[in-house]
Amino acid sequence: MKLCRKVGEGAFGEVFSTTNSSGDAVALKIIPVEGCDRVNGEEQKTFGEILHEIIISKELSSLKEKKHNQTTGFIGLKDLHCVQGCYPPGLLKAWDSFKTQRGSENDRPGERLTCSPVHLFTCLSPFLTQGVSNIRPASG
């Protein structure tokens, strides 16, 4: 991940923008799941609690391949990964930069987590050509 910047946040987690291996602009929505610690004042979701969102996003994203039933207002699901471990240094640097410039209501990833965190990474695209309406902008 060469250039990465945090672009928003919500109680669910963090949103970063970057480019994928093809050079396309994408957003990464990172959601901690199945952990025992509270994150951003909330209990972490279980896979069962977020499964419906994954299925709906995947099904709606498949509509973009068809001629009918398309919309420019939906940010499609490009890819989905479940990983375990700490945030990479590049994402933490982007998180810190965002907090310095705009402030943050969220806990810094990795601070105060005692259990091995599992993170759900959703890759959303195209990002820069569409608005992001499901994230809470930072105050400031």
34-61 pLDDT tens trace = 888 888 888 888 888 888 888 888 888 8
**Helix (H) or strand (E) run with residue 132 in it:** none
Evaluate if residue 132 carries a pLDDT over 90: no
Highest mean pLDDT among 2-6, 62-66, 128-132: 2-6
End-to-end CA distance of the chain: 28
DSSP category for residue 27: E
Evaluate if residue 85 carries a pLDDT over 70: yes
d(C-alpha 64, C-alpha 74), whole Å: 9
**127 vs 74, more confident:** 74
d(C-alpha 48, C-alpha 53), whole Å: 10
Quick one: what percent of the chain has pLDDT higher than 70? 71
Evaluate if residue 113 carries a pLDDT over 80: no
**Helix (H) or strand (E) run with residue 88 in it:** none
Q: Where do the domains of the chain lie, and which CATH numbers do they carry?
A: 5-125 (3.30.200.20)
Give the global pTM.
Answer: 0.75
Q: State the pLDDT at residue 123.
A: 58
Tell me what the mean pLDDT of segment 65-88 comes to. 75
Confidence of residue 94 (pLDDT cuts 50, 70, 90): very high
d(C-alpha 9, C-alpha 65), whole Å: 29
